Amino acid sequence: MRGYHFGGGKSRWAPYLFLLPGLLLYVMIALGPSISTTFFSFTNATGIRGAPVDWVGLDNYKEFLFMGQASRDNLSALGRTLLFCFFVTTIQFSLGLLVAVLVNQKLKGTNFFRTLYFMPVILGAVIQGLIWSLFLYPLGGPMDSILNFFGMSSEFFGGPPTEAFGWVIVVQIWANLGTTMIIFLAGLQTIPSELYEAAEIDGANKWKVFKNVTWPLLTPSVNTNLLLNIIGSLQAWQLFLVLIGYRNGTQVLGYLIYAVGFGQTSGSVTSSFRQGYAAAASIVLFILVLILGTTTQFFLSRRERRILG
Amino acid sequence: MNVDMKIRRPIKWGKILSYAVLIIFAIVYAGPLIMLVNTSLKSLPDFMKSATSLVTSPNFDNFIDAWQKANFPRYLTNTVLYTVTATLVYVVTAIFLAFPVSRGYIKGAKIILFLFIVALFLPPALIPQFQLMLRLGLYNNPIGYILLFTINPIGFTILVNYIKTIPIELDEAAALDGCSYFKFVTMILFPLIRPAVATVAVLHAIGIWNELILPTIYLTSQKYYPITRGMIVFQGVYGSNWPTLAAAVLIMTFPMLLIFLLMQRYIISGLTTGAVKG
C-alpha cells in the first residue's frame, strides 16, 4: 500500500477495476479448470452438451489401471511414456551441453551455428513433423539413401512400432535441442573468464577445466534443463500425432488421453468422448510428472548444496 | 623451405575437432530444410524418379498450386486473426494485472502471484476447459477458441519481475503531477517495459501460431481452421504429392522464420529468464 498517490490518493478502486478482466480470464480458463480435473475424474462426463454427469467414484481409475486388455494397453503406454522421457532427456541434455560448449568458444561462425540449431524450436510440431516426414521419405529419400549406403534400411514411421517410436525420439530431440543449448549457453556466459585463465595458468587440461570449473558452476542451468526436459518429454505427444497418428504400440499417455477424451479422429462430438475417463488418465499422468519432477528436484538441490555450499 | 617452416603454426586439433562436430550437427539441422526447398521446386514426376536428385530446372508452380488448393488464404487469415486478437487481449490484461501486483497497490497481491505460480503445478486443464466451453456454447466458435489463449502464467511472472526494475518514485512523481492511474500505465509505464512486453508477446504469439491440438479439439468447421489444422488436412489429401506439400510447408514456415530472425533477441531472453539464477 505504499506510494499510491494516483487521483490524489483517492482513486484506490482504479487498480482493482483494471485488473479484473485479467484475473477473471485466468480463473475461468486456467485455474478453475485445473482444479476441477480431479472432480471430473470421478464422473462419467461425456462430450455431449446437456448430457447428465454422474458420480462414479473410483470406477475410471479402476478401469484405467486394472481391467482387462485395455488397461494392459494403458500400462504399456505409461511404460512407453517413461521410455520416451528417458531417451529424450538423456540424449537432449548431453547433446545440448556439447553444442553449447562448442558454440561458446571464440570461433568464427558460432553465431551461425547457434541460429541454425535453435531455429526448429519456433517452427512448431506441424512444420517439424512434415519436414521430417519428407526427410525420412521411405522410397529413396535422403535418410533412406544414407542408410542404404551403409547397408541398412528402415521403414521409418510406417515400420514396426518400436522403429517408428525410435524415429519420433530422433525428431523430438532435433526439434528441442535448441532450447537446451540456449539455456546452457546463458549459464556458460555467467562463468567469469578469469576462472578459465587461472585454471590454464595452473596447467589444467581442457577436460579438467570442464570438470572442475565449468560443470560445477553450470549447476543452475543443469537443474533447469533436467527438469524442463523431464517434465516436457513426459507430456509431449504432438509429434506422434503428426508423424505416426494413433497407432497401436506407439502411443504415449498424452496422446491416449486426447484419444479417449476427444475421439481418435477429428469430427463432430460423439458419445465416444469419454471425458471422465480421460480426466482420470490425465490425473495418472499428472501424478507421474509430479513424482518424477519432485524426486529430480530433491536430488538436484541436494547436489547443489554439496557443490555450491 | 626455411621461410615456410618459420611461419607454420602448431595445428590446433581442438579447433578442428570443434568445427568437425559443429558441421556434422549443421548437416543434421540444414539437411531436412534443404530437402524441403529442393523438393518444393521439383515437379512430381521428377520427385518420383529420384527423391534426392538436385533440382535442375526450378519452377514455382508448386507454390501457386499449394496456395490455391490448400485454401491457404482462409487458413492464414484465421491464424493471423486468432494470434493477433488473443495476444493483444492477453498482453493488455496481463499488464493491468502485473502492475498493481508488482507494486503491491492492491490487497492480496501476494495471493494473486501465488495463484499464478501454483498453476504450473496443477493437473492439466484440458477436460474441464472443454466442458466449460461446451456449456457456454462456445464450442466450434472463434471467440471461444481465442478465449483459450488469453492466459499465460510464465509471461505474467516475467512482466511482474520486469516492472520491479522500474523505480516506484516514478509513480509518485507522475501522480503528484496529476497523472491518472490509467494514463500512467498506458502512457508512462508501457513504453518503459516494452522489452519485456515484446518478449512475452512474441513467445505467446508463436505458441498460438503453432498450436495444433486445441484447434483439433475445438474447431470442427473447416471455415474456422487455422493454418496448422489446415496443413494436416492438406497432408491427408495431398500426402503423396510431396512437391506441392513441401511448397505448402514452406509457405507456412516463412512468416515464422521472419519473426524468428527479427525477434531472436526477445525469444531467447524469454526462454532463459530465471534459468541461470538457480
CB–CB of B15 and A107 under 8 A?
yes
CA of A145: which chain B residue's CA is closest?
B52
Spatial contact of B140 and B219, defined as CB atoms under 8 Å apart: yes
> Angle between the A68-103 and A219-235 helix axes, to the nearest 10 degrees?
150
Residue A69 pLDDT greater than 90, yes or no: no
Domains defined for chain A, CATH in brackets: 59-308 (1.10.3720.10)
Closest listed residue to residue A59, CA positions, set A254, A221, A279: A279
Indicate if B41 and B77 belong to the same structural domain: no
Q: Report chain A residues whose CB lies below 8 A from the CB of B252.
A: 126-127
Residues B112 and B180 in one domain: yes
Pick A5's closest partner by Cβ from B39, B175, B264.
B175
CB of A38 less than 8 A from some CB of B: yes
The pLDDT of residue A199 is 86
Name the nearest CA neighbour of A58 among A44, A68, A48: A44
Give Cα separations from A40 to A226, A263, B55, B243 (angstroms): 32, 17, 55, 46
Cβ of residue A198 closer than 8 Å to a chain B Cβ: no
List the single residue in B with minimal CA-CA distance to A278. Answer: B127
pLDDT reading at A115 higher than 60: yes
Of A17, A22, A23, A10, give the one whose Cα is nearest residue B182.
Answer: A17
What's the sign of the alpha-carbon dihedral B137, B139, B141, B147? positive
Task: Dump pLDDT digits (tens) for A273-304.
Answer: 899 999 999 999 999 999 999 999 999 999 98
Closest approach of chain B CAs to the CA of A249, in angstroms? 21
Same domain flag for B139 and B228 = yes
Given this model, what pLDDT does residue A83 score? Answer: 98
d(CA A212, CA A268): 59
Q: What is the DSSP string of B174-213?
A: HHHTT--HHHIIIIIIHHHTHHHHHHHHHHHHHHHHH--H
Q: How far is CA A169 from CA A84, A250, B109, B197, B263, in A?
A: 7, 11, 43, 34, 29
Segments forming the whole domain that contains residue B45: 11-63
CA distance B40 to B61: 9
Interface test with A, best of B22, B237, B240 (most A CBs within 10 A): B22
Give residue-wise pLDDT tens across range A218-271: 999 999 999 999 999 999 999 999 999 888 899 999 999 999 998 754 434 344
Give which of B216, B87, B72 is closest to B140, Cα–Cα: B216
Q: Which residue has the cell 555450491?
A: A308
Residues of A in Cβ contact (< 8 Å) with B148 = 29
3-state DSSP assignment of residue B251: helix
pLDDT score, position A269: 38
Please name the residue that has the C-alpha cell 526448429: A120
Q: Does A70 touch chain B (CB under 8 A)?
A: no
Helix (H, G, I), strand (E, B) or coil at A274: strand
- Closest among A2, A13, A209, A143 to B35, alpha carbons compared: A143
Burial class (CB within 10 angstroms; exposed 0-12, middle 13-18, buried 19+) of A91: middle
Identify whether residues B136 and B15 lie together within a single domain: no
Answer whether A107 sits within 8 Å of B268, measured CB to CB: no
C-alpha cell read off for B3: 621461410
**CA A154 to the chain's CA centroid:** 27
Instruction: Please report which helix (H) or strand (E) contains residue A219, including its range.
Output: helix A219-235
Q: Are residues B40 and B123 in the same domain?
A: no
How many angstroms away from the CA of A177 is the closest CA of chain B? 10
The pLDDT assigned to B151 comes to 94
Q: Is residue B265 part of a domain?
A: no
Q: What percent of chain B has pLDDT over 90?
A: 77
Number of separate domains in chain B: 2
Binned at pLDDT 50, 70 and 90, residue B4 comes out as: low
- Asked whether the beta carbons of residue A26 and residue B151 sit closer than 8 angstroms, the reply is yes
Please name the member of A31, A34, A134 whose beta carbon is closest to the beta carbon of B246: A134
Say yes or no: B191 and B234 in one domain.
yes
| Residue B144 predicted with pLDDT over 60 | yes
HSE (CB half, 13 Å, CA atoms) of A232? Answer: 21
Q: Are residues B80 and B41 in the same domain?
A: no
Among B63, B85, B104, which residue terminates a domain? Answer: B63
Name every chain A residue with its beta carbon within 8 A of the beta carbon of B33: 131
- pTM here is 0.92
Distance (Å) from the alpha carbon of A220 to chain B's nearest alpha carbon: 4
| Same domain for B108 and B42 | no
Compute the distance between CA of residue B18 and CA of residue A292 in angstroms, rounded to an integer: 35
Please give, rounded to a whole number of angstroms, the shortest distance from the CA of A108 to a CA of chain B. 10
Strand partners, A55: A43
For residue A220, the chain B residue with the least C-alpha distance is B278
Q: Are residues B29 and B142 in the same domain?
A: no
CB pair distance less than 8 Å for B182 and A18 = yes
Per-residue pLDDT, averaged over B172-198, amounts to: 94
Between positions 174 and 193 of A, the ones with CB within 8 A of B are: 174, 179, 182-183, 186-187, 190
Mean pLDDT throughout B255-271? 89
Q: Are residues B35 and A142, on separate chains, in Cβ contact within 8 Å?
A: yes
Considering the domain architecture, whether residues B133 and B210 belong to the same structural domain is answered as yes
Looking at the structure, do residues B83 and B19 belong to the same domain, yes or no? no
pLDDT tens sequence across B35-45: 999 999 999 99
Contact A49, B135 (CB under 8 A): yes
Q: Is residue B243 part of a domain?
A: no
How many Cβ pairs closer than 8 A exist between chain A and B?
282
Interface contact flag, A275 B130, Cβ < 8 Å: yes
Asked if the Cβ–Cβ distance from A118 to B168 is below 8 Å, we say no
Q: Which residue of B has its CA nearest to A103?
A: B22
Q: Are residues B19 and B111 in the same domain?
A: no
Taking Cα atoms as reference points, which of B121, B9, B135, B52 lies closest to residue A50?
B135
Please give the torsion angle defined by the CA atoms of residues B78, B84, B87 and B89, in that order, rounded to the nearest 10 degrees: -100
Give B152-171 pLDDT, tens digit per residue. Answer: 999 999 999 999 999 999 99
Per-residue pLDDT averaged across A49-62, rounded? Answer: 90
> CA B211 to CA B217: how far, in whole Å?
11
pLDDT at B5: 52
